[in-house]
Every structure is written in C-alpha cells, then in structure tokens.
C-alpha cells in the first residue's frame, strides 16, 4: 500500500473538510495583520523572510526587555513576555543542566514535539474581547493617564490562524532543529506529522521550510509528505484530544476552571478595582480583568515584530506572574498531572515515542490510529529524525504521560508557586507559542554501552524521574522505557467510558 492509499484508508469516513487537498504556494510579504484563517491555500514564505526574522527577533529581545514607552504607566514597572502563560511567545527557559551534547557522546536519534506558533485569538474569544471593548468604550466617562489609548483601540480582525510573527517562529524552529542535529540530517530526513487544524499544519510547513533551507535544499517535496491527522471525536489522533468522553465532558472536566476561579478572585480582584478606578463606568468583573490582560499578548504578537502592546504596561511584573500562574493552574488541573484523566490523553503519544526509540511496533489501545501506526509509510521506525506538531493542551498531557514534572506537587490555589519551586512547571515554561520538546537518544563511551535518553523542553533539560537519571538528566534507554509503565498499560483509558 502506497503512502497516499494508506492515508486514504485511514481517513475513510471522516469529515470532508479533513480530506481536502492542501495546496502550497509562496506567502507574499507585507500581509502581516490580515486575517488568513479562513483561506484554504497553504503558503510558504520565501527565503528572505529568514533574514527579516533575524532582525525582528533581535528587536524583540530589546522590546521585551523594556516596556513600550507609550504603553507604560508611571506607577508600574516593566513587564515581561515570559510571564504571559501559554500566550507567551517562544523563549529559551533557563536550565540548571547544560543542554549541549556532552563531550564523548553522539546523538543517534532526535524527535521534536512542537506547539504551533503565535496566533490570533480563537473566533469565540475574539468575539468576547470585542464585546468587552465595545462595552468599555461606550460606558467609560473618563480615561486616566496611560489608559487613553483604549478609547479608540480596535482589536486586529484576525482569528484562529497564526500571525506573521508566529509563522516566523516556526521557520526559526526548523532552522534551530537542523543546526542542533545536522549530523543526523546528512543521511536522514525528518518524518513530519501535524494535527489537522490550519495553524498546526502551517507550523509544520514553516518548520520544514526552515529545516531544509538551512541545509540549502528544496523543501517542496518534503511539504507534500507531511502527514496530517484529522481532529475530532471520530478519529484517533495522538496529537490532539477528543476521543475520551469522560475527559471532555465528565464530572472532572470543570476541575481546572474551579481551581482558576479561586486564584483569580484572590489575584485579580485588586487589579479589577484599580482598572475600575482608572476607567470609571467600565464596571469590570474579575473575568473581564483577565480578558483585558489577554489583550496584551494577542495585540503584541499581531504585529510582525511583536511590538509590545500598550495594554502590557497597564500591569505590574508581579501581576503578570499571577497571570502566568492562572494559566499554569489551568494546564496542571485540566491536562496535566493534577487531572484524573489528563495524563491518559498523552499515553498514545508516549507509546509512539517508545516505538520510535526502540524500533519496535506500537503497542497501544488509547489514542493511536492502528491503521497509520502499522504502516511503514505513515509510521516509519527507521528514521533518525521526527517532528510532530500539536496544541498546548495535548502537549501538557504528553508531558504528564512521559512522567515529566513528577516531583511537582499539586499547585496551590491560594498563593502562586514560582516555576523553579514547581520543578520547572508553568504554562509559560512548558507550552509557550512555538514551545517544543526534544527527545534525544545518544551513545556515549564504548561500543557496548547502552544508549541514553534525554528530554529538553524549551532548552531546559528535564530531570527524568523513576529511571535512575545521571547528573546530566539522562537515563538508559531500557530504564526509561520501563519507567513509562503508566503509558504502556494504557493509563486510565477505561475511565474514559465509565
């Protein structure tokens, strides 16, 4: 069975919009800020965008470090995009362990699991933001100093799709992946998969573009080979959730929102009171206040160079840390280790990773697609490089299924826990826009030594639990696989239907 026929067989019976043909053409320059979410044609930016992005990235490092002059209020200090939770643009997370390949070691395998790049708000959230702004602009009688811009502010019309800045994040990610694993790329092309939403598919495309352009090769043929996995309740997809009814709609599905509400009432109430003083007549609630803070990251990444939004300077650094923690509570208690069924949603991905690491067939009865995973055309086991593209929620579940952040206790809801005290867990440190996990296998020392496994998330080496990790965060392959007993036995998949 050929590649196309294997995919067609696996997708039989799914919705028509998930079977459409993907057409690739160049992304014209100068379209930043326009809504591209509803277009059916996939576009790939030309090479000169790489140079432009290097300049933009350099500018961003300065912009992020200092508050935008017009957006800053006198009473508040600088804010940082690294505290915007899951809406943070990608950044390198500090690591206690050197992430470079240790001397005397050779990387023999590398897989990346990546989130899509920075995006516009979802259509539903964009409508909420527009209604809020309309209400504020109609009801406020006077704007305090530093808040005047809100009177005429209009949200970018883009929804759901990646922004120009987000597209470039993934080009840069592909370049970085090639630069790190260029020795493997000499005789192995990456096998690339993407979950089936537009922004995730485009992320896979732009990553692929960056990867091949970095080595001076054409990427056209590689784009056509990207395997797209449809999203929804009728298709098993390890890069997205949706096939576990109890997780989606069961009694614990509102667990995270309840935790967030407790923290939100503590942390955001003083902010709400200040905003209502500065914007008399607005009548903002705690939830409105959090939505106002959302406008900072979304307005920032809507610009090609991620120019800091004027909303960002309305809030202090400590308030942004509280905002990041609000997002962390959502991820921990909805998809992560604090959720009864969250880690189970990542078991399928973990079992696929085991198969790739060991070169053995996938053994799983959760979210894997047996038709795809049993074919060497759609799930090869002989590659040295793999790249998967997904969403933040699915990635948090995958991390949990892999046993990551196992030393992190359940996050408290009445006070915030800094990422370092949470053993590296926070929304911004784990799943920022364009966030990524590298899984490496390496050979060190003598020929007979067993290969070692190491995991790096956003440039931070993760301590592996339960497999006897060494001082460089690595476990022997056999011990690592053995430590994934939760995923290998299917997690709590039976609970999906109870």
Q: What residues are labeled active site? A: 116, 392
Do the beta carbons of residue 99 and residue 460 sit within 8 Å?
yes
Token pair 């239907």 is found at 497
Give the torsion sign (CA, 180, 184, 187, 193): negative
Give the total residue count for the chain. Answer: 498
Task: Please name which of 414, 413, 429, 404 lies closest in space to residue 350, comparing C-alpha atoms.
Answer: 404
């Amino acid at each position: 069975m050929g590649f196309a026929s294997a995919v067609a067989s696996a997708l039989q019976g799914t919705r028509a919009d998930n079977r459409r043909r993907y057409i690739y053409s160049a992304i014209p320059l100068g379209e930043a800020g326009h809504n591209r979410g509803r277009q059916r044609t996939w576009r790939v930016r030309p090479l000169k965008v790489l140079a432009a992005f290097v300049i933009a990235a350099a500018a961003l490092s300065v912009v992020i470090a200092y508050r935008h002059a017009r957006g800053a209020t006198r009473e508040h200090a600088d804010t940082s995009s690294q505290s915007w939770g899951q809406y943070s643009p990608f950044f390198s997370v500090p690591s206690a362990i050197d992430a470079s390949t240790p001397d005397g070691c050779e990387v023999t395998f590398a897989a990346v699991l990546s989130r899509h790049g920075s995006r516009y708000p979802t259509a539903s959230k964009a409508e909420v933001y527009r209604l809020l702004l309309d209400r504020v602009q109609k009801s406020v009688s006077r704007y305090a100093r530093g808040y005047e811009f809100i009177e005429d502010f209009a949200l970018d019309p883009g929804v759901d799709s990646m922004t120009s800045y987000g597209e470039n994040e993934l080009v840069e990610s592909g370049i970085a992946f090639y630069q790190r694993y260029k020795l493997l790329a000499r005789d192995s092309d990456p096998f690339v998969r993407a979950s089936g939403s537009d922004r995730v598919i485009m992320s896979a495309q732009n990553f692929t573009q960056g990867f091949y352009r970095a080595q001076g090769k054409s990427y056209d043929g590689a784009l056509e080979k990207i395997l797209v996995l449809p999203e929804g309740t009728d298709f098993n997809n390890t890069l997205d959730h949706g096939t576990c009814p109890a997780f989606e709609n069961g009694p614990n599905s509102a667990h995270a929102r309840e935790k967030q509400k407790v923290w939100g009432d503590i942390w955001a109430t003083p902010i709400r009171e200040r905003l209502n003083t500065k914007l008399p007549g607005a009548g903002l609630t705690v939830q409105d206040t959090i939505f106002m803070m959302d406008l900072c990251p979304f307005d920032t990444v809507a610009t090609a160079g991620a120019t800091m939004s004027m909303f960002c300077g309305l809030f202090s650094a400590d308030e942004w840390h509280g905002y990041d923690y609000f997002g962390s509570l959502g991820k921990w208690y909805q998809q992560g280790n604090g959720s009864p069924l969250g880690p189970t949603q990542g078991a399928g991905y973990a079992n696929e990773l085991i198969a790739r690491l060991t070169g053995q067939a996938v053994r799983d009865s959760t979210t894997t697609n047996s038709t795809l995973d049993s074919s060497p055309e759609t799930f090869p086991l002989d590659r040295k490089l793999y790249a998967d593209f997904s969403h933040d929620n699915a990635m948090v579940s995958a991390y949990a299924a892999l046993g990551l952040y196992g030393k992190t206790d359940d996050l408290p809801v009445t006070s915030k826990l800094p990422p370092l005290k949470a053993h590296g867990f926070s929304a911004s440190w784990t799943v920022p826009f364009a966030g990524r996990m590298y899984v490496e296998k390496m050979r060190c020392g003598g020929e007979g030594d067993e290969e070692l496994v190491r995991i790096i998330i956003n440039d931070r080496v993760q301590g592996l639990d339960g497999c006897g990790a060494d001082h460089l965060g690595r476990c022997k392959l056999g011990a690592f696989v053995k430590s994934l007993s939760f995923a290998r036995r299917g997690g709590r998949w039976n609970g999906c239907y109870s």
